[in-house]
Amino acid sequence: MVEYLQRMARYNRWMNERLFARVKELPADAIAEDRDAFFGSILGTLNHILIADILWLHRFAASSGCRDALAHPLTEYPTPARLNEILFDDFAELTENRRSLDGLILEFSETWTDRLLNEPVRYRTMKGEKQERALGDLLQHLFNHQTHHRGQATTLLFQAGIDPGPTDLLFMMMEES
């Protein structure tokens, strides 16, 4: 499972780099335009993905096995209050923070072992409900959540007239080999 999740961390960065490069081709008003999507705009959708990642990393950092890798670096990021918050309304600033967080996720992935992935993470949901799951299960959710919402963002991008290009994990794997 370690290798699979590390591949997903690489895919996260690879796909974000490609997606953000294509979004950058749009003017700022088109990036922020409400497109009747779940998070409104391309900007809203990309902010949501970042917010969810930050929230999950904070939850992971609260567990003893992850604290050293995450606690200090996470102080560089704002703490979101809502899942639909716009942390960064400036696309360049959003891009910089996305790139930085993707680097942190990759560094964090280098600490993963089978033992760590089986350790429980205790956290509270946004509604305050107590939860506990293995780190590996939560990382699978993190990467699946990213992929789901990037799919929404690529649809919005395509509707704005920009072809996002290949997004499949297989394309990254072909580039790596």
Mean pLDDT, rounded, for 77-85: 92
Report the mean per-residue pLDDT for the chain: 97
CA distance 119 to 58: 16
* CA 42 – CA 169 distance, rounded (Å): 21
The reply to whether 145 sits in an annotated binding site is yes
Q: Is 90 exceeded by the pLDDT of residue 78?
A: no
The count of residues in the chain is 177
Q: Give per-residue pLDDT as tens, 127-172.
A: 999 999 999 999 999 999 999 999 999 999 999 999 999 999 999 9
At 29-44, the pLDDT tens digits run: 999 999 999 999 999 9
Does domain 2-176 fall under CATH 1.20.120.450? My reply is yes
pLDDT of 110 strictly over 90: yes
Q: Is 149 annotated as a binding residue?
A: yes
Q: What is the CA radius of gyration of the chain?
A: 16
pLDDT of 76 > 90? The answer is yes
Task: In whole angstroms, give the CA distance from residue 126 to residue 146.
Answer: 18
**Closest CA relative to residue 97, chosen from 36, 46, 31:** 46
Domain boundaries, the chain: 2-176
